Amino acid sequence: MTLPARISIVTLGVSDLQRSIEFYQDLGWPLSSESQPGTIAWFRTADSVLGLFPSPELAADAGVPDDGEPTFRGVTLAVNLGTREEVDAAMAAALAVGADLVKAPTLAEWGGYSGYFADPDGHLWELCHNPGFPLTAEGRLDLPV
């Protein structure tokens, strides 16, 4: 057997679970009824599930030390959008609910358009339009094999 090429869940360690839940709900993301108040939150996205879990508990679950939140974790999350205008509108929406602007959307040398914001715990999100990565009608990447 091989490992299936898919990402089912991305779980972010957060310092204040309720604050993070409110942030993602304010973005318009629906909180799943499978969430456990005060313990863990689940948000269904177009392609996978986003989990929010207190950082110390997430570290304990993985069996690793909780060394605090580094400024840059070596990971970004991305939402691809259909146009530059959609990137600008999505960035404005994120900033309006408390995201921190990390990098304003700009033209990229590879022909796209992207910018970054940070959520309340500093997790970096890229908002991007990549003309080489078409989207389906549902907004999913239609990346060739």
Query: What CATH number does residue 22 fall under?
Result: 3.10.180.10
- Distance of alpha carbon 85 from alpha carbon 67, whole angstroms: 39
pLDDT at 71 over 80: no
Answer yes or no: are the C-beta atoms of 76 and 122 closer than 8 Å: no
Q: List the single range of 29-33, 54-58, 93-97, 141-145 with lowest mean pLDDT.
A: 141-145
pLDDT (0 to 100) of residue 54? 95
> Which pLDDT band holds residue 23 (cuts at 50, 70, 90)?
very high
My answer on whether 57 and 96 are in the same domain is no
User: Structural domain of residue 53, as residue ranges?
Assistant: 1-68
- Distance of alpha carbon 14 from alpha carbon 139, whole angstroms: 27
> Which pLDDT band holds residue 139 (cuts at 50, 70, 90)?
confident
- 72 vs 25, which has greater pLDDT? 25
The whole-number average pLDDT for the span 95-120 is 96
- Overall domain count for the chain: 2
Mean pLDDT for the chain overall: 93
My answer on whether 3 and 55 are in the same domain is yes
My answer on whether 145 and 135 are in the same domain is yes
- Distance of alpha carbon 64 from alpha carbon 32, whole angstroms: 28
From 48, 68, 88, the end of a domain falls on 68
My answer on whether 80 and 42 are in the same domain is no
Answer yes or no: are the C-beta atoms of 56 and 102 closer than 8 Å: no
From 68, 93, 117, the end of a domain falls on 68
Answer yes or no: are the C-beta atoms of 55 and 39 closer than 8 Å: no
Helix (H), strand (E) at residue 113: strand 113-118
The whole-number average pLDDT for the span 4-20 is 92
My answer on whether 75 and 132 are in the same domain is yes
From 30, 47, 68, the end of a domain falls on 68
pLDDT (0 to 100) of residue 70? 73
> Which pLDDT band holds residue 31 (cuts at 50, 70, 90)?
very high
